[in-house]
Amino acid sequence: MTTDYGKLTWEEVRDADKDRVVILNVSATEDHGPHMPLDTDTVLGMAVANGVAAAAPDEVLVMPPIAYGFNEHHKDFPGVIWIQPETLIAFVTDVTKSLAHHGFRRILLLNSHGSNHPILDLSARKTVIETGIICVSASYWNLCADRINEHRKSDIGGIAHAGEFEAAMYAHLQPEHVHIEKSAAQNLHDPQTNFFNLDLAMGGGKAMLMRWWSEVSPDGTMGDPTVADPETGKLFLTAAIEETTALVREIRALPILARKDHH
Ligand SMILES: [Zn+2]
38 domain residue, yes or no: yes
Q: What is the whole-number distance in angstroms between the Cα of residue 71 and the centre of ligand 1?
A: 11
| H or E stretch at 111 | strand 106-111
In a domain, 262, yes or no: no
The neighbour count for residue 7, using CB atoms within 10 Å, is 11
240 CA distance to ligand 1 centroid (A)?
15
CATH number at residue 22: 3.40.50.10310
Does residue 101 lie in a domain region? yes
- Point out which residues pair with 238 in neighbouring strands: none
Instruction: From residue 234, give the alpha-carbon distance in Å to each of 69, 78, 101, 172, 199.
Output: 26, 30, 38, 6, 20
User: Is residue 65 one of the residues assigned to a domain?
Assistant: yes
Q: How many CB atoms lie within 10 A of CB 130?
A: 13
69 CA to centre of ligand 1 in angstroms: 11
Expressed in angstroms and rounded, the spacing between residue 253 Cα and the centre of ligand 1 is 31
CB atoms within 5 A of ion ligand 1 belong to 40-41
| 56 assigned to some structural domain | yes
| Rounded distance from Cα 128 to ligand 1 centre (Å) | 28
128 lies in some domain: yes
Which residue range is the domain that position 121 belongs to? 5-253
Rounded to the nearest whole angstrom, what is the distance from the C-alpha of residue 17 to the centroid of ligand 1? 33
Residue 101 CA to ligand 1 centre (angstroms): 32
Cβ of 147: how many Cβ atoms within 10 Å? 17
Query: From first to last of its 263 residues, what are the pLDDT tens digits of the chain?
Result: 899 999 999 999 999 999 999 999 999 999 999 999 999 999 999 999 999 999 999 999 999 999 999 999 999 999 999 999 999 999 999 999 999 999 999 999 999 999 999 999 999 999 999 999 999 999 999 999 999 999 999 999 999 999 999 999 999 999 999 999 999 999 989 888 888 888 899 987 789 899 999 999 999 999 999 999 999 999 999 999 999 999 999 999 999 999 999 99
Residue 41 lies in a domain: yes
Q: 3: CA distance to ligand 1 center in Å?
A: 25
Q: Is 95 domain-assigned?
A: yes
If you measure from the C-alpha of residue 10 to the centroid of ligand 1, how many angstroms do you get, rounded to a whole number?
Answer: 34
Cα–ligand 1 centroid distance for 145 (angstroms)? 16
Q: Could you tell me the distance, in angstroms and rounded to a whole number, from the CA of residue 221 to the centre of ligand 1?
A: 9
Please tell me the total count of domains within the chain.
1
Please give the backbone phi and psi of residue 224, each rounded to the nearest 5 degrees, phi first. Answer: -125, 90
Span from the CA of 14 to the centroid of ligand 1 (angstroms): 35
